Amino acid sequence: MKFDELGLDPKVLSAVLEAGYETPTPIQAEAIPHALQGRDVLGIAQTGTGKTASFTLPMITLLAKGRARARMPRSLILAPTRELAAQVAENFETYGKNLRLSMALLIGGVSFADQERIIDRGVDVLIATPGRLIDHFERGKLMLTGIEIMVVDEADRMLDMGFIEDLERIFKLTPFTRQTLFFSATMPPEITRLTEEFLSNPVRVEVARASSTADIVTQKACVLPGAVRDRADREKRAALRHIIDEQGETLTNGIIFCNRKRDVSTLFKSLTSHGYNCGALHGDLEQRVRMQVLDGFRKGQVKLLVASDVAARGLDIPSVSHVFNYDVPINAEDYVHRIGRTGRAGREGAAFTIVKPSDLKALAKVEELIKKEIPRVELEGLTNAEPPAAPEPRSSSRRAEGGKRSEREEKTRDADPQEERGRRRRSRRRDAPERERDEPVIGMGDHIPAFLLREVPLPGRKKRDPADGDKVIDEEKIADEAEAPEITTDDLTPDAKERREGATVDISAEAEAGAPDPTESADAA
């Protein structure tokens, strides 16, 4: 299919060709003809699929006939952020350059007076963020009763940003005879409800991410050997750290997806205690906290974002070098959305999925959906024990070089209470992670006594999980290191006994002071 078969105005068509596009993307090919017929469209598509042109091109064609009246815009496009609104405006300028359509951009940071002057003269297209539009409306200088076409772009992101009530109000201020073109990357229940209420018999157009984009994402699946049930999570966490370490400098920033919000908290705490710079995002966090975490991630202050699918919906992240699936998603579609976070705007991306043998069925469903086999990778050095060696100092440079830790070293780390104490302290002093990571490992030398490798349940302290409502968690079990078996002091040499007792005193002192919870501290900030 070519653009000239879609029924666009010849002036729009020539602008599209001048922009260098000949073939419409799937969402353009499907949505444009319906939009030109005046139908409501429900487009389920992400950024990168060409969705902006799928509504701007028919809009310009439809608006080419007719004239705007003062203070009564003829069409309205709502976008969640200033940047996105500005991007849509650019599209209008590019594709509408051969027509004389007037446009106003209502976004924060531009003076009300300037914007009002433009609206006073009458505009064909009003592009706005919901909050700013309501502000203008409340000043009484704008009427929405002349809206013929209304576009909602990235609705799920508006939901994430707390704009749903504004959006609903705006819908009610526009005439019900309007044509609505509604776009969202995902369809959470609140969005579905909105579309049911405000769209009239819409044509549903659903597209996966443009394949050309997905092709520049290197996908890998790391299938772990079977593990006894209570060790599986620990192995997954070790595998994740191993994969992260191996990426070296190619990993500029990444999102780690978990299926359950409970795992988001656990994994976040575990990674933090291992010295990784990360933040957590799940649906239970207050909007304000989520925005803070996201902001840190956008600015590059937070390198790894541990997130659930729900929380990550519509994230405004310009480019992520890596996506890690800590779990194979339960819904195969989520895989497409997850990996869609990387490989944006022509940049290369990498997506790693950790697979337990019991997840192989879910992985097969993903492969069926993407019509592609995801290459398997072996995690060398993780599952094969390395020959004994004296513990080396760990350093951040080793990590940056993609250096691996041996299984032995891992076990030593996990088992030594003094090391655990050091790590707890480090997780608390995240402002100095580099220096702390250079501290030598104080381990058990070359020999690991057999009792250290024995699995014994931890008595552990109990407290409520702030991230998971009523759930009582065993704080000791949260960080990987806490999964080390309990050692009775009778088993130890006099030296180790002394160290151990020192550690015990310290840990309980920390317990009294209340171990810091990063989500709590973010909340308090």
Which residues of this chain interact with ligand AMP, rule CB under 6 A?
A: 21, 23-25, 28, 47-53
Cβ neighbours around 253 below 10 Å, total: 19
Cβ neighbours around 360 below 10 Å, total: 13
Tokens coding 390? 């004296």
Closer residue to ligand AMP, CB minimum distance, 33 or 403: 33
Angle, vertex CA 208, rays to CA 307 and CA 267, nearest 5: 15
Closer residue to ligand AMP, CB minimum distance, 19 or 70: 19
Token look-up 């996201």 returns 294
Q: What is the largest CA-CA distance in the chain?
A: 91
CA–CA separation, 87 vs 94, rounded Å? 11
Give the DSSP H/E element, type plus range, for residue 462.
Answer: strand 462-464
- Check: CB of residue 216 under 8 Å from CB of residue 284: no
- Sign, CA dihedral 284-466-418-236, equals negative
Length of the chain measured in residues = 525
Residue nearest to ligand AMP (CB): 52
Closer residue to ligand AMP, CB minimum distance, 8 or 224: 8
Q: How far is the CB of 232 from ligand AMP (least distance, A)?
A: 39
Closer residue to ligand AMP, CB minimum distance, 50 or 518: 50
CA–CA separation, 24 vs 207, rounded Å? 13
Report DSSP state, residue 320.
B
Selection from 220, 238, 236, 212 nearest residue 363 by Cα: 220
CA–CA separation, 422 vs 435, rounded Å? 12
Using DSSP's 3-state secondary structure scheme, residue 126 falls into strand
CA–CA separation, 249 vs 272, rounded Å? 19
Percentages of the chain per state (helix, strand, coil), in multiples of 5 = 45, 15, 40
Q: Which amino acid type is present at position 346?
A: G
CA–CA separation, 188 vs 191, rounded Å? 5
Closer residue to ligand AMP, CB minimum distance, 23 or 145: 23
Closer residue to ligand AMP, CB minimum distance, 47 or 115: 47
Q: How far is the CB of 181 from ligand AMP (least distance, A)?
A: 13
Closer residue to ligand AMP, CB minimum distance, 48 or 279: 48
Q: How far is the CB of 97 from ligand AMP (least distance, A)?
A: 15
Closer residue to ligand AMP, CB minimum distance, 10 or 346: 346
Q: How far is the CB of 28 from ligand AMP (least distance, A)?
A: 6
Closer residue to ligand AMP, CB minimum distance, 50 or 443: 50
Q: How far is the CB of 247 from ligand AMP (least distance, A)?
A: 26
Q: How far is the CB of 53 from ligand AMP (least distance, A)?
A: 4
Q: How far is the CB of 127 from ligand AMP (least distance, A)?
A: 14
Q: How far is the CB of 2 from ligand AMP (least distance, A)?
A: 10
Q: How far is the CB of 5 from ligand AMP (least distance, A)?
A: 13
